[in-house]
Chain A
Amino acid sequence: MGREGRPASLHRYGRVTFFDLIIRNLWKKKARSIGLAAAVAIAVMAVVTLDVTSSGLEQSAAAIVSVGKADFTVIQKGAADTLSSTIDRQELARVGQLPGVASVVGVLVETQNLNANNPVFIEIGIDPGDLASFGVRVIKGQPYGPTAAHQVLLGWRAAANLGLGVGGQLAANGTSNTVVGIYSTGNSFGDAGAMFPLPAIQGYNRVPGIVTLAFVKVTPGTNAATVANRVEYSLPELTTIRTATQFGRADRNLVYLQAAVNGSTVLAILIGAVIVGNTMLLSLFERTREFGLLRAIGWTRRRTVSLLLGESLLLALLGAVLGVVLSFAVAAGLARLPALRGILHPNFTEGAFWRALLTALVMTLIGALYPTTRAALLSPLKALSYE
């Protein structure tokens, strides 16, 4: 340590660069610097957490379309969410008859509140004959029969979570179901649920002949997009999904969720900007004489503003990094909440980090607008006589 408890690194060198000057100014007002970085960090954390959780929720919801390893998925047009989509037997048959369609697998997807730890347990109703083409591989035991009652196949993740094996009993849909096999789909969403004979799950939910989704495989050499367009043209009440992005657009709840996230992001940025602006303004008032002095000894407006802005941007960067770290912790904590367990898988992508940085920068620049304008317009004489 150097004199007066200052770290030697900040005290040892007489020579200063502009960056050193920024560091020393921030170091001089440690509490304020920490406060500003914390404000940015909290706003960034809020934005990133919202982003990764909504993205995770969307990914979880969209994962269902990739369970079947189909060329595209068919759902009801305008459905509020995937699970409220209804496709009847006739529509399913008409899809299967369209040119270019090799196979159609209709599945009914429902959720079940198993217990406090599994409040949203995914149940998929599917004919045993469609399991293979749906990409389901039975890794233990055997498939259920086409009309078997009270039989269930458990995904290997669900089996591990519930502590059940072949022969175990799964209490669901108001009845006890025997686990006849354990399956794997290679998709974490699919593997965390259970599969029932289609008629059984339709019966439990009183929707005979209805499926939620139809998974379509096209004949080899046929363009999937062309066939998908054909489906939409022939059955205008249905829509097709080939990618997770298309899924996000088709599911209205996800559209609303995204809108809410966007709104919250703007709000978080504005709140952060107000805090940044307020802190910078306070700093400007406290350091008015200093800025006046710098102007009086020949610093240009631009250089003076650069100093103030540089200090804020450095803190914004620090806040962005802190915010991302915090968002990791918060998102992980949210994912462990009983109400969200199994549904929320925070999706930390490279894009989330860039958005964090962008959020911090936008917030700082908006917040800095007024203080830096004031700093630029500061009269050296008035600033020097400022008390």
Chain B
Amino acid sequence: MSEPSERKLAVDVRGVTRVYPGLVNALAGVDLTVEFGETVAITGPSGCGKSTLLHLLAAIDSPTTGSVTVAGQDLARLRDPSAYRRKEVGLVFQFHNLLPQLSALSNVEVPMFGTHASARQRKARARELLADFDLSGCEHRLPTELSGGERQRVAIARALANAPRILLADEPTGSLDSVSTTRFLELLDRLGGAGMTIVMVTHASDVAAHANRIIEMRDGTIVPSVPVSAAPIAYR
């Protein structure tokens, strides 16, 4: 029987290591908890293991040892990892990774294949999301016809297509200019304000500043956490 406090956890990572072939220790014993509704930024230098941690949360990689539980599901025991990725988490990448042959609207519809949504419902949901992100006029544009910021917003809309409880973002502003980054951060604040759980990996301190909590990683481990009030950067 779980403790009531544990039931609230969106993410519960315990004693996780990840050793890649060639004995590269990407993660060397990571413990992390994230509560539902929290926005957490994972920062750290390149190669510290922050993206690896995000990949484990997205169930596109598995830990060598330890356990990863997301939204109450032990990821090692998932019967259908695809269903988990489809329903529980939304993924946003540094490079939007939109399908170039599809319009913005269709790109947002793609994750909804395999759900019970009809084509009409898929379209309605995609429209709603694009409208939410001020992309109504871009519905029928191909990714090549969108600006970098617009592409990333389409990518977020796609990540939210199946109404996941947790948004996982890997360097979401890494390919954006300052104006697009500002718009993206406004959007992030909106989502966080609406109760979405967000775990993002970022190098950028101004982006991390929008999180409730910053996790710093170094050499595959988490550096003891810094209270928000004591953080050396501005928080909202």
| B43 at interface by CB-CB < 8 Å | no
Asked whether A16 and B106 contact (CB < 8 A) given A296-B58, A297-B85, A303-B113, the answer is yes
Interchain CA distance A4-B91 in the complex, whole Å: 30
Chain B residues with CB under 8 A of A18: 113
For chain B, the bracket of interface size reads 35 or more
| A345 at interface by CB-CB < 8 Å | no
Residue interface mask B110-154, A partner, CB < 8 A = 1? 110110000110110011000000000001101011000000000
Chain B residues with CB under 8 A of A14: 103-106, 109, 123, 126-127, 139-140
Measured CB to CB, the nearest residue on chain A to B91 is A296
| B83 at interface by CB-CB < 8 Å | yes
- Contact between chains at A24 and B109 (CB < 8 Å): no
Q: Which segment of A133-141, A273-281, A286-294, A322-330 sits at the interface?
A: A286-294
Max chain B Cβ within 10 angstroms of own Cβ: one of A12, A16, A295, A299: A16
Interchain CA distance A27-B142 in the complex, whole Å: 14
Measured CB to CB, the nearest residue on chain A to B112 is A298
Chain A residues with CB under 8 A of B93: 384
Contacting residues of chain A (347-387) with chain B, CB-CB under 8 angstroms: 379-381, 384
Measured CB to CB, the nearest residue on chain A to B62 is A381
Max chain B Cβ within 10 angstroms of own Cβ: one of A14, A28, A299: A14
Chain B residues with CB under 8 A of A206: none
| B226 at interface by CB-CB < 8 Å | no
| B60 at interface by CB-CB < 8 Å | yes
Q: How distant is A291 from chain B, measured CB to nearest CB, in Å? A: 11
Q: Which segment of B2-10, B66-74, B94-102 sits at the interface?
A: B94-102
Residue interface mask A290-329, B partner, CB < 8 A = 1? 1001111111110100000000000000000000000000
| B55 at interface by CB-CB < 8 Å | yes
| A94 at interface by CB-CB < 8 Å | no
Chain B residues with CB under 8 A of A293: 97, 99
Chain A residues with CB under 8 A of B120: 15
Chain B residues with CB under 8 A of A28: 100-101
Which residue from B101, B114, B119 sits with its C-beta under 8 Å from A298? B114
| A25 at interface by CB-CB < 8 Å | yes
Measured CB to CB, the nearest residue on chain A to B108 is A14
Q: How distant is A216 from chain B, measured CB to nearest CB, in Å? A: 67
Q: How distant is B31 from chain A, measured CB to nearest CB, in Å? A: 22
Asked whether A298 and B87 contact (CB < 8 A) given A14-B105, A15-B109, A290-B99, the answer is yes
| A17 at interface by CB-CB < 8 Å | yes
Chain B residues with CB under 8 A of A300: 80, 82-83, 114
- Contact between chains at A299 and B82 (CB < 8 Å): yes
Interchain CA distance A174-B64 in the complex, whole Å: 92
Q: How distant is A83 from chain B, measured CB to nearest CB, in Å? A: 61
Chain B residues with CB under 8 A of A381: 55, 60-61
Chain B residues with CB under 8 A of A296: 58, 60, 85, 91
- Contact between chains at A298 and B82 (CB < 8 Å): yes
Chain A residues with CB under 8 A of B91: 296-297
- Contact between chains at B86 and A15 (CB < 8 Å): no
Asked whether A294 and B110 contact (CB < 8 A) given A3-B145, A4-B142, the answer is yes
Which residue from A11, A27, A297, A384 sits with its C-beta under 8 Å from B103? A11
Which residue from A4, A27, A297, A384 sits with its C-beta under 8 Å from B86? A297
Q: How distant is B170 from chain A, measured CB to nearest CB, in Å? A: 10
Interchain CA distance A295-B126 in the complex, whole Å: 19
Chain B residues with CB under 8 A of A17: 119
Asked whether A297 and B110 contact (CB < 8 A) given A3-B142, A28-B101, the answer is yes
Q: How distant is B27 from chain A, measured CB to nearest CB, in Å? A: 14
Chain A residues with CB under 8 A of B87: 298
Which residue from B80, B83, B102, B127 sits with its C-beta under 8 Å from A16? B102
Chain B residues with CB under 8 A of A11: 103, 140
Chain B residues with CB under 8 A of A25: 101
Q: How distant is B190 from chain A, measured CB to nearest CB, in Å? A: 22
Interchain CA distance A299-B143 in the complex, whole Å: 21
Interchain CA distance A334-B109 in the complex, whole Å: 52
Chain A residues with CB under 8 A of B162: 298
- Contact between chains at B114 and A15 (CB < 8 Å): no
Q: How distant is A386 from chain B, measured CB to nearest CB, in Å? A: 12
Interchain CA distance A215-B93 in the complex, whole Å: 82
Residue interface mask A4-32, B partner, CB < 8 A = 1? 10000001101111101100110110000
What are 20 inter-chain pairs, A to B, with CB distance below 8 A? Answer: A4-B142, A14-B104, A14-B105, A15-B106, A21-B102, A21-B110, A21-B113, A289-B97, A295-B82, A295-B85, A296-B91, A297-B86, A297-B110, A298-B85, A298-B111, A299-B111, A299-B113, A301-B82, A303-B113, A384-B97
Q: Which 7 A-B pairs have the closest CB atoms?
A: A298-B86, A14-B105, A15-B123, A28-B101, A380-B60, A300-B82, A298-B85
B-contacting residues of A (Cβ < 8 Å)?
A: 3-4, 11-12, 14-18, 20-21, 24-25, 27-28, 289-290, 293-301, 303, 379-381, 384
